[in-house]
A and B are shown apart, each in its own frame.
Chain A
Amino acid sequence: MKVLVAVKRVIDYNVKVRVKPDNTGVDLANVKMAMNPFCEIAVEEAVRLKEKGVATEIVVVSIGPKAAQEQIRTALALGADRGIHIETDEEVQSLQAAKLLKAVVDKEEPKLVILGKQSIDTDNNQTGQMLAALAGMPQGTFASEVVVDGDKVNVTREVDGGLVTVQLNLPAVVTTDLRLNEPRYASLPNIMKAKKKPLDTQSPADLGVDLTPRLTTLKVEAPQTRKAGIKVGSVEELVDKLKNEAKVI
């Protein structure tokens, strides 16, 4: 079974994000970048499927600037078999990413596509769902457990009230939640092996996808710094403050 995993290059989660002075976006110059943590979980899940003998080939795809090849190489070092880099310096929004991935799915015909549920830079939580819709595949989002069973996959999903398990016909789209697994680290020998694994580069034009954004960013602002809390003397005072100052009840 072939598994396709999408990975995204994003700002490292340890970096303190700074908004550009002109409020057009986030300052990315010289900022440490890394693989989106949810995508790491997606790669890990695919590698585990391969170790169990369920998956036979793992193809990893990333959309982004040349430097995104670093993240593909990382995925290859973690156990993926080959990479596809769709190179572009343009901004890629969820819908365009989904269209590009759909084009790759058409070509590669994977049985399972695993994506992170969202990327920590834009937090959209859309690409997997859009891809499923475009490709006409069933989707199991926010997965905390994935069990392939013949030509079906059981996906346990984290929802507000608890867990829901859905059964999907393959091919299917799965998006990962935080508790699905704990990703491994690339070992030194595997980093060397990754160097020799094939990595194919394509352009959005090759795949016939127009990247024109559908959304316009009006303004980017840093979140308000949290104000220090206060201590209240009694329940009455709390209720009073909630009612009259915060006006939330």
Chain B
Amino acid sequence: MDPFRFVAAADEHAARAAASAGARYLAGGTTLVDLMKLHVERPRTVVDINALPLTEIAETPGGGVRVGALVRNSDMAHHPLIRARFPLLSQALLAGASPQIRNMATTGGNLLQRTRCYYFRDTSAACNKREPGSGCSALDGCNRIHAVLGTSDHCIATHPSDMCVALAALDAFVLLSGPRGSRVVPLVEFHLMPGDHPERETAIEPGELITAVDVPPLGFATRSAYVKVRDRASYAFALASAAVALDLRGGEIRDARIALGGVATKPWRAREAERTLVGRPPDAASFRAAADAALAGARPRAHNGFKIELAKRTIVRALTRAGAMA
């Protein structure tokens, strides 16, 4: 770890005041401290925000839920409102990391967790995300875990979060508070595709603080599922994951939500796939058609081609599970 200045902020104002250039907020620390140890993150100042009152989960008018930025992942996953209204979100959270990590990890930190690309985490390797312009070691390297959707010639790293995939399916919003006031960014616009600037990962501005995530009401989210495929039973990131919800009435799909994880450079909303489902019966053929549509634009590299079919099967399984719910 490189030396840094440590500030424990008593309130939001103090936090933002301390967050000069080169500063990082410290929430659960499970991403930040990890990367500091690897010298990937080298903040000059670390601002501990754990004393801020951002730990609430509250109902919003119409049946939505607002989750404070400092709510621990395990608290969100087990919260009765989340479990009752957004089972896919609860499942996604519980599919992530390990119980110890979930007890520390926060909503805000989870939104901003960094990729697990090996080369990003290894300071001796070239990586455009870590060091813009240095090149991308993954393009022709060990890219089994990398993305097939939303990639660019400069970066093919996946966004690793499970929670964000469910939030993308749910059309959630990120609430930000910064030097120039507060603003709200739709989650699907919060994360950016790598393009020519893989070092720019989110819409957050320097010094801005995430205060909460708003999950708007979605009646049919009770019929939803999160399926994660990984190399071992826990403590592993997704090779492919799918968050889905189905609005099923009269034996017909009226509306659908599909988002993918583990295969794309950001939490990936598959709108085209959703559209193919509307008006069709909830059967294997419909699900498969949606899965094909979701992966239509996939571009594999040398070692991650298997993810395309795997992701399709993951989607089918998630839809089947949701479709079969009472």
A binds B: no
A residues with CB within 8 A of B: none
Interfacial residues, chain B to chain A (CB-CB below 8 A): none
